[in-house]
Amino acid sequence: MIKHNARNLTNEEFFYGHKACGGCGESLAVRLTMKILGERTFAALPAGCMSAVSFIYPNMAFTTNAIITPFASTGAVASGMAAGLKALGIENTQTVGFAGDGGTADIGLQALSGAIDRNDDIIYICNDNEAYMNTGIQKSGLTPYGTKTTTSPAGKNLPGSITMKKNMFEIVAAHGIQYAATASVGYPEDLMAKIEKAKNTKGTSYVHIFAPCPTGWGHGSEVTIELAKQAVDSGLWYLAEFENGEFILNKNPKEFASVENYLMAQSRFKHLKEEDIEVIKNHRDAKWAKMRKDWQQK
């Protein structure tokens, strides 16, 4: 399998001129994914930032075939596109769905589950910016504890969101999917390697990409990559794979980087008190104890 890096990565762009905010992490995830998948890619995008910024009539930022799907149906539409390509005898193609965290972990979960169950030959990308951003920052099932959003305000009684991130990667893996992985735009080579694996997977594959959102998180547009890396280094996100029925932890930091540095760089977490940060750290430690015990390490 090709080992992708900046040097051998194609100079050609397949997602260009989009209207995402400057420094948008999701748009980098889509851009790099499209560069690996190539020009014979058919993309399905539900309602969400990535469709909203690329299909603004008469602008169209994808240079390949791409379609907007109803919010709940990324998995189903991608399945249908793959079936259509097969029926028409169009070969050497990739079918990919790019949905947000809301579009994946909440409203699109059923359609995704169906696609995995049928083992349809699609790649499903979850672009996780930890809230419903396109409609103005509402809490989703992937919003972490202590996040201030418009539907989980922080105040005297609540520290913002009071639920933890849904274990979306494990939910997908529990289907017995062919290939699943978590990634981060802060580790682009790892991300590209996982997209390459998904590309070479016959059947359904799922890649969950952690992607900061300067507008919704309240951070400078220049630190998107740095924050995405810090999330992994501080243990608030993890890089893992599910292959041949086994979980693999790709990166196991000996010591976690500062959670406080990561949180305090973002206005969505600025209100957090020491005791709230304790809750976040305890949850992190419990998750890592389980991953370190039960998952292979490679």
Partner 1 sequence: MNRPKLKQWQEPVNIDAYPVGSTCPSDHLTSINAGWRTYRPVIDTDKCVMCLRCFLLCPDGVIDKSGEKLVIDYDYCKGCGICAHECKPGCIEMVKEEK
Are the CB atoms for 220 and 139 separated by under 8 Å?
A: no
Mask: binding to partner 1, 49-68, rule CB under 8 A, as x and -? ------x-xxxxxxxxxx--
The C-alpha atoms of residue 88 and residue 97 are separated, in whole angstroms, by 20
Task: Determine which residue in the list 132, 242, 262, 269 makes contact with ligand TPP, applying CB under 6 A.
Answer: 132
Please say whether the dihedral angle defined by the alpha carbons of residues 197, 199, 200 and 201, taken in this order, is positive or negative: positive
Q: Does 33 bind partner 1 (CB under 8 A)?
A: no
The C-alpha atoms of residue 56 and residue 40 are separated, in whole angstroms, by 22
CA nearest 127: which of 155, 99, 164?
99
Q: Does 47 bind ligand TPP (CB under 6 A)?
A: yes
Spatial neighbors of 156 by CB under 8 A, at least 6 apart, are none
Are the CB atoms for 50 and 69 separated by under 8 Å?
A: no
Task: Determine which residue in the list 23, 97, 100, 186 makes contact with ligand TPP, applying CB under 6 A.
Answer: 100
Strand, coil or helix: 284: helix
Stretch that binds partner 1, among 10-18, 96-104, 253-261, 265-273 (CB under 8 A): 10-18
Task: Determine which residue in the list 41, 134, 147, 161 makes contact with ligand TPP, applying CB under 6 A.
Answer: 134
Q: The tokens of 32 are what?
A: 């790099």
Q: Which does 53 bind (CB under 5 to 8 A by kind): ligand SF4, partner 1, ligand TPP, none?
A: ligand SF4
Name the minimum Å distance from CB 100 to partner 1. Answer: 16
Q: Kindly identify the residues of this chain, within the stretch 123-162, that bind ligand SF4 according to CB under 6 A.
A: 129, 133-134
Task: Determine which residue in the list 15, 26, 140, 184 makes contact with ligand SF4, applying CB under 6 A.
Answer: 26
Q: Which residues bind ligand SF4 (CB under 6 A)?
A: 20-21, 24, 26, 49, 53, 129, 133-134, 213-216
